[in-house]
Amino acid sequence: MKKESDVQLIQRILSGDEAAFGVLVEKHQKSVHALAWRKVGDFHDAEEITQDTFLQVYKKLPTLKDPYKFAGWLYVIANRLCIDWIRKNNLTIQSLEDTPVVEIEKASYTDHVSEQAEIASSKRRREIVRKLLAKLPESERTVMTLHYLGEMTVKEISKFLEVSVSAINNRLYRARKRLKAQEESFVQEVLSSVQIPTSVKQNIMRRAADIKLTPAPASKPLVPWAAVGTTVFLVALLLSVSNQHLVRFQRPYSFEAASEPTIEIVDTNIVLDIASKPAVRNRAGRATLTRKSSGASTEVSQTISTSNTPADSRRRLPIREKVQTRSLPSITAPWTKWFVNKHHLSPAEMTASHDMIWSPEFGLRFQKTDEGVLLVGDWIEARRQQEALLDLNPNVILLLEVDMRGTDPNSLFLKELYSSDDFPWIRDASGKVILGAPAEQYTNLLIDFTHPIAQDVIVAQAIAAAESGLWDGILFSYWNEKRAVLKGYRSYEAEQNARQSIIQRIRDAVTDDFLIIVGSTDKLSFGTSYINGIILYNDHQDFSNDQHTGLIELESNLLWAEKNLREPRINYLQAKGVGSELPLSPTNRQTMRCFTTLSLTHSDGYFLCTMGVDWGEQHLHDDFFWNYPHKYTNWDYWNQHTNLHDTFLHAHGGAHYWYDFWDADLGHPVGKKGRLYLNREGLFIREFTNGWVIYNRSGKAQKIQLPEPATGVASGITGTSHIVPNLDGEIYLK
């Protein structure tokens, strides 16, 4: 018999079915007990907390707005009760972080098996496991406990902790790697054998019987409002298509559905009319879909009313929810989605490790015809790729880069869009097209975006991305509004007017939930009401010189963007390491920590530190890299040649390095952005639910005092007092 979902059980409970609550308790009690034991360190106390958790759940269940988020809601309640228990007991227990290193080292598996008499005791075995887990960082320890003691799958842990599946997989992998094989087997054996006494559930049900549920307010029914909105949408749709044939419908609305019912149009082209400027705005929320019948000589076109919020992605979260429910730090990926040091992961897992990605093209391409701009290709495969990413990381933000300044006309994605001879490129006096961004050695050609035809094409691409449902927003990576970028061939005023027109037309044509992100090196002088975020670039690569001025400018720009741009805001800081050094060199580690903590203390944004590239310098194995590209995507090959990872691939734009520092699970921000520590100039602190971030550019090493013991992610030092070097930073986890 198929198990009932949480949503179904909640529906039954709120309808007065007490037995359903017993099923819900049975389903989740091990995960709650595992979390409680991880927090308080005692199995019996964890049982008490488990009982209190489910009683709180029963009382507050009518207030749960979204039943699909029950797992995360349950975690918040259990975690809060654990914190209250620890405070109530005046921290009398010894936390794992306070366990002396010598004692942890003594807790080896070899030492354990020599004490057979004591190991026979369940209590002793659990204490051994507790000390073994003390070797792990907080995030890995929690995941290991939930997996073995809570008997939770990776996906269940992901929902419980509200962390991506790929992050959970990474934590399990690292935890197993840190423990010896025998130790990991011992942990699994002991925790998997634990059974919660039946009295726990009996006590919960007995005490719950005395609780009278308060009905949910009429204005907040359990059934999602999306169902009502969907009904209206379907009625409007039926009225709008008139005598045209409707394409295939998905199954009717179900309480178990991950989203509202949708209309799926398979293997079609999206066409946007760009014949005239007014048509762009008038067509907001509408897509013309063209499909050629197999074996027929005629082409059938259908126009349907659509929401710009995609309906074909079953797990699609609203942008605001993606941003607010993710854990920090959030790492992004420009163009490249794989890491030279993560060859044990699949390409999909590497991609999904990021919280924001551009530019996934999903195998589609733009095509310009007399009818307009078409986004064509295998739509079934494109949606499958999108769903695969969302399965691994529901919070990932997907952006499509739209070329405005320069583009490569030979790109498969854009080739047919820019292939016409009369396209308005920037040309010199002889009529030759000018090479453009980002550097002369690229084949990118300068687009005259001041020309109406070029503007129409740019706007049409953005609207196509919005109406496809595959992307959350668009990116203009070379915005640079404070200076002319068309090499003096067009005036600064003409460029500004063109940008203003383009950005306004796009915003008028897409929904409020669709992102417009621009790349900039400074604050914006216009467009703040249209733009959701900026990508700030930092190109400083030498930390031996004074970087204070550049860092202060970045701090100021981040704080400005966090305050002034359009909601939802997606700001992003990209820094560069030293390309002539290996990723794990002391300088590059310091650079990465400095910019990561700068971003975390001054924004709620996204971050990446890439390896700088000196294109004038030949790196080791360059010929091998470029002549044999098939080998750097062959994971078996990398397993045999791991020594090559850090020797040359990091020096190219083809890949980047993932630092363990970014695996820190800070949770959500609590403290204010840009806050000075004890009013010390250049020393910043910010609190998160799971710890603190310190960023130091004060000019000297600084001693800081935390309110409770915490472990430095980079240093590995546990305590309340820590030293943070100058031009550096640290993440401290509770």
Lookup: tokens for 52: 């209190």
- Summarize the confidence of residues 385-408 as an average pLDDT: 87
- Determine which of 203-212, 412-421, 469-478 has the lowest per-residue pLDDT on average: 412-421
Lookup: tokens for 481: 């509004």
CB 168 within 8 A of CB 144: no
**Nearest-angstrom CA–CA distance, 450 and 549:** 35
- Summarize the confidence of residues 111-139 as an average pLDDT: 69
Lookup: tokens for 24: 């819900």
Residues 6+ apart with CB under 8 A from 208: 18, 21, 54, 55, 58
Q: Does residue 653 register a pLDDT over 50? A: no
Q: Does residue 538 register a pLDDT over 80? A: no
| 28 band by pLDDT with thresholds 50, 70 and 90 | very high
- % residues pLDDT > 90 (the chain): 28
Lookup: tokens for 360: 């996934």
* Per-residue confidence (pLDDT) for residue 442, from 0 to 100: 52
Q: What is the pLDDT of residues 338-369, one digit of tens each?
A: 677 776 777 788 888 889 998 788 889 998 87
Identify the residue whose tokens are 């972080």: 97
Tally Cβ neighbours within 10 Å of residue 250: 14
* Per-residue confidence (pLDDT) for residue 436, from 0 to 100: 67
Question: Please, what is the angle between helix 43-60 and helix 70-88, to 10°?
Answer: 130
Question: Please, what is the angle between helix 18-40 and helix 43-60, to 10°?
Answer: 140
Q: What is the pLDDT of residues 411-447, one digit of tens each?
A: 778 878 887 777 898 888 888 888 765 544 456 788 8
CB 110 within 8 A of CB 684: no
Domain ranges of the chain: 6-208, 677-733
Residues 6+ apart with CB under 8 A from 563: none
417 versus 162: the higher-pLDDT residue is: 417
* Per-residue confidence (pLDDT) for residue 252, from 0 to 100: 31
- Summarize the confidence of residues 694-701 as an average pLDDT: 95
Lookup: tokens for 408: 């490569």
Alpha carbons within 13 angstroms on the beta-carbon side of residue 134 total 24
Is the domain spanning 677-733 CATH 2.60.40.1180? The answer is: yes
Maximum average pLDDT range among 245-254, 336-345, 445-454? 445-454
Q: Which uninterrupted H or E stretch holds 720?
A: strand 718-724
Q: Does residue 263 register a pLDDT over 50? A: no
Q: Which uninterrupted H or E stretch holds 557?
A: helix 548-564
| Alpha-helix residue ranges (DSSP H) falling in 61-197 | 70-88, 101-106, 109-113, 116-119, 122-133, 138-148, 154-161, 165-178, 181-192
**Nearest-angstrom CA–CA distance, 554 and 88:** 43
| 312 band by pLDDT with thresholds 50, 70 and 90 | very low
- CA angle 272/276/277 to nearest 5° reads 90
- Summarize the confidence of residues 388-409 as an average pLDDT: 87
CB 130 within 8 A of CB 41: yes
**Nearest-angstrom CA–CA distance, 40 and 37:** 5
Q: CA 155 → CA 70, 125, 321, 535, 611, distances in Å?
A: 14, 28, 19, 32, 33
Q: Does residue 636 register a pLDDT over 50? A: no
pTM for this prediction: 0.58
DSSP SS3 for 244 = coil
* Per-residue confidence (pLDDT) for residue 301, from 0 to 100: 28
- Determine which of 104-108, 409-413, 629-633 has the lowest per-residue pLDDT on average: 629-633
* Per-residue confidence (pLDDT) for residue 619, from 0 to 100: 36
Q: Does residue 462 register a pLDDT over 90? A: yes
| 481 band by pLDDT with thresholds 50, 70 and 90 | low
End-to-end Cα, the chain, rounded Å: 42
**Nearest-angstrom CA–CA distance, 509 and 459:** 9
> Amino acid letter at 734?
K
Residue among 34, 8, 31 at smallest CA distance from 21: 8
Maximum average pLDDT range among 254-258, 575-579, 606-610? 606-610
**Nearest-angstrom CA–CA distance, 579 and 562:** 30
- Summarize the confidence of residues 549-554 as an average pLDDT: 88
- Determine which of 58-62, 300-304, 359-363, 459-463 has the lowest per-residue pLDDT on average: 300-304
Question: Helix count (H) and strand count (E) of the chain?
Answer: 24, 20
| 634 band by pLDDT with thresholds 50, 70 and 90 | very low
Q: What are φ and ψ of residue 357, in 5° steps?
A: -135, 135
* Per-residue confidence (pLDDT) for residue 352, from 0 to 100: 86
Q: What is the pLDDT of residues 713-734, one digit of tens each?
A: 999 999 999 999 999 999 999 9
122 versus 237: the higher-pLDDT residue is: 122
Q: What is the mean pLDDT of the chain?
A: 74
Q: Does residue 647 register a pLDDT over 70? A: no
| 625 band by pLDDT with thresholds 50, 70 and 90 | very low
